[in-house]
Structures are given as structure tokens and as C-alpha cells.
Amino acid sequence: MKITQFALRHLRMALRTPFETSFGRIQTRDCILIEARTDGLTGYGECVADADPGYSYETVQTAWHILRDFLIPAILNQEIQHPGQLRQRLNFVRGHPMAKAGLEMALWDLMGKLQGQPLSALLGGQRRQVEVGVSVGLQESPSALVKTVENYLAQGYKRIKIKIKPGRDITDAQAVRNAFPHLLLQVDANSAYRLEDAHSLLQLDDLNLLLIEQPLAEDDLWDHHHLQAQLRTPICLDESILSARHARQALEIGACRIINIKAGRVGGLSEAVAIHDLCLSQQIPVWCGGMLETGVGRAANLALASLPGFTLPGDISASDRYYTEDITQERFVLNADSTIDTPTLPGLGISIDPPALERATLATLTLP
């Protein structure tokens, strides 16, 4: 396929409730919607970089620059056999995985539409439903947290992740554990700790957690190895794993026992599948992380999570957990068994709601 035109849209969407992590609190979520056009067909991709560089160094503005000035010029009007080729073709740009992943997603959507195949099938997915959970941000108090969790359980979510940070770890996790002794519960620190303050993390070891996600710095596999040696609870890495190579090295040195896979963080769905394949071959559980995606990115997450190695519930919640108004016609809903259906229409399997998209758009750019 040959992409003859690209369009970028900077979107800002209002969250139903603020989302707070160890790196900040947001009321609105920004992202870039990428459109790839060829003979009457449009492929959509979502770049998950946010307005601020809190989760990673990428922002909407850095991704916009990298897409406009480097990535898009490199593939505009060029013959591309398969989206998997992008990893090599875009290798001349160092880093910026979210920008690359958004572009690659648009090509996957386009290829699926050209071939009449859902993304799930193109990636090797097998499940028609994907097990999911919900990621709960930091709340005002442990009792407020318990109420919020209770509300999600009432909606049918069977796995809960809570955000933690120093001073808000054992109290919060203990409160949820006391209220729900058998709940599938995990925590995410988003790199808020150093090995020196690991004592508070050691206390979490008695709470029967599924995993502790990304406790230490994103560029520090080695200290994660030290921490994992002191914990029975598996460490799961998120921010630290930017490629299949990182995944291999983290597993080799014992820095983690579980990996959270996000296509945006690792430069695209192809690399995400490579990490999945590596982990499956070593019987390492993986699960699909989330970046508060719109319906576009959520469709891609569901397709990815339909692969056989995704044995833990993903951070892929129903549409109504996120935005007051989404940009897709489709609404992803939670089934009674805490699953969401894998999209079955060609490509991402979603259609855009044009008026909603207009309302969310802050800026657009068409190339050429």
C-alpha cells in the first residue's frame, strides 16, 4: 500500500473523573489522532503521548514534531508491503516510540480494511473476548478509595489496580484488601520509589497482590532485580520495557516476573507482538496496559490482548469509564464475566463519530 496523504489531529478529551497517579493529576487527556489515506480508504492510529511528559518524555508536541518532520516524510508515497516493515524503516529516528506506534497503528487499520481482516486476526489473536480490569487513580483517602473500588466491582470488574506513591501505599492497599479479601488486586507506582525506600514496598508482600507494577525508575532494570530478590510478589515492568530486547534482558537478570505490554511504549503493535512471543516462549505472563485511550486506541488494545499469551486481565475498561464523549461510534461495554468483546470488523473495527471528533479537535495538519 501507498499512503498519499496523512492528517494529524491534536485532541483533548474530558475525563469523567480526574485521574491521579504518582506523576500527576489530569482532568483532560490529550492525544494525536493520525489518519493515513489511500484510494478512498482511511486508516486511523492513536498516538498516546499526553500533554505533559509525566509518564514518558514524549508529549503531544514532541510527537507532532517527530511525525510531521521525520516519520511521515519517510513513508509518504512510498510502497509499504506490511506495517511490520515500519520498525526498520523508522529506525533512523532514535526513540519517540509513541509517535512511531501511532503511525504504525494507522497502517494496521488500513491493511485490515484493504484485506477485509480484523486487526486481531492480523496479529494472531485467538480470543473473542478479553479479560479486563480497571485502573483506579489515587483517591482522597483510603475510605474514598474503598468506595470507588466497590463501585467498579458493582459494575462487574473482577480485577482492580490501584495507583500508589510514597506515603500512599500500604494504607491504601491494606484498606482495599481488608474490604475485599479475595479481590484480584494489584498496584502501580509509576516509578515513584528508589531502592532505598523499598521498606514500604516490602510491607505490600503480605497483601496477596497479583503484582507490583513499575516501583522504581524507568531506566533502572538493575535495582528492580535487587528489589525482586526481596519480594515474593512478582514485579511487573511497564515504563522500563521499551523493546523486546529490554524484555529479554529484564527477564535474564530477574528484574521482573511479569510484563505489561503497551504498543505505544514499545514503538508499535509489531514490537508488542514480539514481546508477547518472547514471553510466551518463556511462560512469562503478560497483560495489556492502557494509556486512557479513546475508542480508537482501545480497539487496538483489545485486538492485541486477544493473543494467547495475554493471560492476565488488561487495563482495558469499558468506554463509559473514561470520557464524557468518545470519538468512535462504537461503545465498548463490559460483559457479565469481566470481559470485553474483541472487535470483529476489518482493521480496528471502529468508525469515527465526526461531530464528536470535531468537538475534541484543537489543531489539525494535512500532509501534503
Query: Which of the stretches 105-113, 202-210, 269-277, 283-291 binds ligand OSB when contact is defined by CB under 6 A?
Result: 283-291
- Does position 133 interact with ligand OSB (CB under 6 A)? The reply is no
100, 113, 163, 165: the catalytic one is 163
The residue assigned the cell 505490600 is 204
Q: Does 191 bind ligand OSB (CB under 6 A)?
A: no
> Using CB distances below 5 to 8 A depending on partner kind, what does residue 290 bind out of ligand OSB, Mg ion, none?
ligand OSB
Which is nearer to ligand OSB, 55 or 323 (by Cβ)? 55
CB-nearer residue toward Mg ion: 189 or 356: 189
Decide: is 188 part of the binding site for ligand OSB (CB under 6 A).
yes
Question: Which range of residues in 33-41, 267-275, 284-292, 330-338 is near ligand OSB by CB under 6 A?
Answer: 284-292
289 forms part of the interface with ligand OSB (CB under 6 A): yes
Residue nearest to Mg ion (CB): 238
Our finding on whether 306 is near ligand OSB (CB under 6 A) is no
Q: How far apart are CA 26 and CA 53, in angstroms?
A: 12
Cis peptide before 368 (omega within 30 of 0): yes
Q: Which of 274, 240, 241 is nearest to 87 (CA)?
A: 274
Report if residue 169 touches ligand OSB, rule: CB under 6 A. Answer: no
Checking 208-212 for CB contacts under 8 A at 24+ apart, the result is: 208/177, 209/173, 209/185, 209/233, 210/159, 210/184, 210/185, 210/186, 210/234, 210/312, 211/186, 211/187, 211/235, 211/236, 211/257, 211/258, 211/312, 212/186, 212/187, 212/236
- Residue 291 binds: one of ligand OSB, Mg ion, none (C-beta under 5 to 8 A by kind): ligand OSB
Q: Among 100, 113, 161, 262, which one carries the catalytic annotation?
A: 262
* Shortest spacing between CB 170 and ligand OSB, in angstroms: 20
Interacting residue with ligand OSB among 135, 148, 191, 270 (CB under 6 A): 135
Scored b (16 or more CB within 10 A) or e, 42-51 reads: bbbbbbbbbe
* Residue 317 interacts with which of Mg ion, ligand OSB, none, CB < 5 to 8 Å by class: ligand OSB
- Is position 113 annotated as part of the catalytic site? no
Beta strand 258-261 pairing with 286-288: parallel
* Rounded CA separation 321/160 (Å): 13
Collapse the DSSP code of 165 into the 3-class scheme (helix H, G, I; strand E, B; otherwise coil) and give the result. coil
- Nearest CB to ligand OSB, comparing residues 316 and 360: 316
Shortest approach of ligand OSB to residue 85 CB, angstroms?
28
**147 counts as catalytic:** no
30, interface contact from Mg ion, ligand OSB, none, CB < 5-8 Å by kind: none
Cβ(119)–Cβ(298) under 8 Å? no
| Set of cell numbers at residue 45 | 492510529
CB of 21 to ligand OSB, least distance (A): 6
**Which letter, b or e, does each residue of 15-24 get, where b requires 16 or more Cβ atoms within 10 Å of its Cβ?**
beeebbbbbe
Residue numbers annotated as active site? 163, 262
